[in-house]
Structure 1
Amino acid sequence: MLRTAMNDLHTLRQQIERHLEGHIVWLERDHIHLHDGLSQAIRCSTLAERAVYAEALCQLLRSPDIRHRTGAIAVLADVMPPLCSDRALTCLGQIPAQPPAWNIGYQNLEQAAAITLAAKATPDDGKTLDWLKSLVLQGNYADFLWEQIARLDPAWLMQQAHHVEHKILGVIAALPESQRTAYIATKAPWPPEVPTVVTRAFWQRFSERERHRLRTLMYPSEQTNQTVFVYQIGSEHAPDDPLGLETLSLTTTGRLFYERKHHGQVWQQQTTVESQLQETLKTALVEAKTASTAKLHIPPGAGLVQIRYGDQQACVDYYQGQKLPGYAQIIQIMDAYLQEFRSHQEVVS
């Protein structure tokens, strides 16, 4: 990689401008966007060199050339520190919500700058914090910024809690532990939880004890009717799957919920099952885990079955699973319920 002469700020700025204008100065095989080479050059620099990069980028943040502004904003996080959020905001000046010159992962430059500065800000960056507060109160990029504001000024966030949507769960994790209870109470009642990859990742941010405490506060009615077992098969959008994604969820009270999603349509049903089903499934999963000493091979294009019981998770090919201890029993039981639900379906959306 070409190393820049770092003893001349003016020279460095010219090199960055040339690079962002398409006259490539920094290039490696894996670079995709124009700013990739610049970003790598900064990350490979010394602390002293990085300070010079920061000054050069500060000058480019106000450039009338959209390519310069796009590149400077795209790599802003790489020079923070030594650059602080308040200084970067001063360099940015007025930030129009205009599209970037190329894809930098955000719809416009204002959004990119706001999210970068918010993530790097400290409570001492008062000017940045005031700007972020004005953005969220206007409804701009709130989904991305509320969590950082909770970290930077939890007292102000508590005053504005009525503006925060329930779906922005990250606010809870960002708040000091002493304020989480008050925030949850302020936002009550909470809508029923919809388990997704995002929500599962969110709850992993807490200790088991804190997770249980928060869930009890947020979903008190669900504590007596928790989902303990989930069985999924199929794919919602696969063109060769005639049934789509089917999910069976068993609760502690013996309710079995069925949901099928296929190309935008949703079917839902529920029924009451025998009290011993939960224990039967738990025993079968333990047997499956005990018998499967090696990692299961899942062939390409397989019909995957995903199973979750409490904190235990398993994934197995549908046809392979029918030949394995434990899994075979689970698949057989769930298949029977699936067949029953499929014969009585009504579209709900």
Structure 2
Amino acid sequence: MSDRIHYSSGNEHNPSDPFGRVELTIEADGAATLEHHWRMGDGAWTGRVDPAAIERIRSALADSDFPDVPQEPVPPGSNFRHIDVGTQSAMLTERQGRNLDGYQDAIPVLEALAHHMSGGAYRPDLEAGDPLVTDVRAAPPE
């Protein structure tokens, strides 16, 4: 599978979301861009994602029902995650992302990538483990 992976999480306009919104795009060759939008200001970075991390994401999504997500009532204030791979797309709540097979393995990798690329600005509370991205550089937000 050589499709681009795009991950979006959060909402910078939701007062109950302290982390804002991230938009992470990972190309098939590992080139990555991250945009972080939150109340304290915006940031953008580029970097190169470790091929093993890309494989972990793809493998986890292969173990899920991606792009299918069960329809459930959405509690007010829910935080959504969007995952796009090529032309397939899934939208799920934070709770579904923690509990659904495959997604519960893919999303922590995506969150850790966003954390590392942002230099900890996104999810400063996250214990993200080993860096999965190299050659990180600040870039002007779009």
Same fold (TM over 0.5): yes
Equivalence for 2:56:
280
Q: Which has the higher contact order (CA 8 A, sep 6+)?
A: 2
What is the alpha-carbon distance in structure 2 between the residues aligned to residue 296 and residue 255 of structure 1?
35
Equivalence for 1:314:
90
Find 1:340's aligned residue among 104, 111, 116: 116
1:267 corresponds to which letter in structure 2?
G
Would you tell me which structure has more helix in proportion to its own residues? Answer: 1
Superposition deviation, residue 288 in structure 1: 1.8
Q: Secondary structure at the match of 2:4?
A: strand
Q: 1:147-174 CA deviation, whole Å, 9 max, x = no partner?
A: xxxxxxxxxxxxxxxxxxxxxxxxxxxx
Superposition deviation, residue 306 in structure 1: 0.8
TM-score calculated relative to the size of structure 2: 0.70
Find 1:300's aligned residue among 73, 76, 81: 76
Q: Secondary structure at the match of 1:330?
A: helix
Equivalence for 2:18:
242
What is the alpha-carbon distance in structure 2 between the residues aligned to residue 336 and residue 295 of structure 1?
27
Give the alignment of 1:182-331 within 5 angstroms.
228-263=4-39, 265-289=41-65, 294-331=70-107
Larger-Rg structure: 1
Aligned residues: 124
C-alpha spacing 1:306/1:252, structure 2 compared with 1 (3 Å) = same
What is the alpha-carbon distance in structure 2 between the residues aligned to residue 293 and residue 248 of structure 1?
20
Superposition deviation, residue 262 in structure 1: 2.3
Q: 1:219-243 CA deviation, whole Å, 9 max, x = no partner?
A: xxxxxxx971011111132233222
TM-score calculated relative to the size of structure 1: 0.31
Give the alignment of 1:12-51 within 5 angstroms.
none
Partners of 1:268 and 1:347 within 8 A in 2: yes
Superposition deviation, residue 297 in structure 1: 4.1
Would you tell me which structure has more strand in proportion to its own residues? Answer: 2
Partners of 1:245 and 1:262 within 8 A in 2: yes
